[in-house]
């Protein structure tokens, strides 16, 4: 069956649409005539047939909290509804929001400038190490301090910093003993 076809012609087979009962003799004489899709009114199928069937039987609405929760989370969007503000309130909201964005961008720019200064000073220190030596610039010893500073052998062989303190289930009541003296 193609996905574009509807199941409306098969609906009487699954659930009778009328509640009146026909006599047994009429059921035997009735011939089957398939109904076309265009003759049936287009109504969406209910989410669950249990509520209508319970209402039909007169038992009332017995809502299961699990079904209610499933319905709620299926039908509600994840994002809250958009704010509906008056003109002045929207202007105040936009002004405060824009001021906060400007403040955050200034903070980000200041942090980036601070990092840039740190990187520049590290670059300058490495360049000074590369050019300086104890006895002046002599052939093989030029850049010896720079090479020693940039040497990474054995850096990752040590104990991880997480193991520098003993592992406990809970943190201490006091983080640091300020009264301790030698």
pLDDT, tens only, 149-180: 888 888 777 777 777 767 778 777 777 888 88
- The domain tally of the chain equals 1
pLDDT, tens only, 4-60: 555 555 555 545 555 555 555 554 555 555 555 555 555 666 565 566 666 666 555
Assess if residue 2 is contained within a domain.
no
Q: Given the structure tokens 């000074």, which residue do they identify?
A: 128
Q: What's the token pair of residue 161?
A: 């910093």
Write out the residue range of the structural domain in which residue 123 sits: 88-150
**112 with 132: CB under 8 angstroms?**
no
Rounded mean pLDDT of 49-75? Answer: 73
Assess if residue 102 is contained within a domain.
yes
Listed in sequence order, the residues at least 6 apart from 12 whose beta carbon sits closer than 8 Å to its beta carbon are 35
What is the C-alpha separation between 33 and 112, in angstroms, rounded? Answer: 77
What is the C-alpha separation between 18 and 95, in angstroms, rounded? Answer: 61
**pTM listed for this prediction:** 0.38
Assess if residue 116 is contained within a domain.
yes
Q: Give the model's pLDDT for residue 107.
A: 98
Q: Give the model's pLDDT for residue 130.
A: 81
Per-residue pLDDT at 94 exceeds 70: yes
Closest residue by Cα to residue 46 from 14, 22, 24, 80: 14
Assess if residue 48 is contained within a domain.
no
Burial 153-163 (b: 16+ CB within 10 A, else e): eeeeeeeeeee
């Amino acid at each position: 069956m193609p996905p574009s076809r509807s199941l409306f012609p098969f609906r009487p087979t699954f659930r009778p649409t009328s509640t009146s009962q026909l006599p047994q003799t009429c059921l035997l004489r009735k011939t089957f005539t398939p109904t076309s899709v265009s003759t049936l009114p287009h109504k969406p199928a209910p989410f669950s047939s249990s509520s209508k069937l319970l209402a039909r039987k007169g038992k009332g609405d017995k809502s299961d909290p699990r079904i209610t929760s499933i319905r709620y989370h299926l039908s509600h969007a994840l994002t809250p509804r958009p704010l509906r503000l008056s003109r002045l309130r929207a202007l105040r909201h936009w002004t405060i929001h824009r001021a906060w964005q400007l403040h955050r961008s200034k903070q980000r720019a200041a942090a980036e400038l601070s990092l840039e200064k740190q990187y520049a000073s590290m670059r300058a220190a490495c360049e000074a190490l590369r050019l300086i030596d104890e006895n002046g610039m002599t052939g093989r010893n030029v850049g010896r301090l720079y090479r020693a500073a940039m040497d990474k052998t054995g850096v990752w062989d040590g104990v991880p910093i997480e193991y520098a303190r003993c592992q406990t289930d809970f943190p201490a009541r006091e983080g640091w003993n300020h009264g301790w003296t030698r």
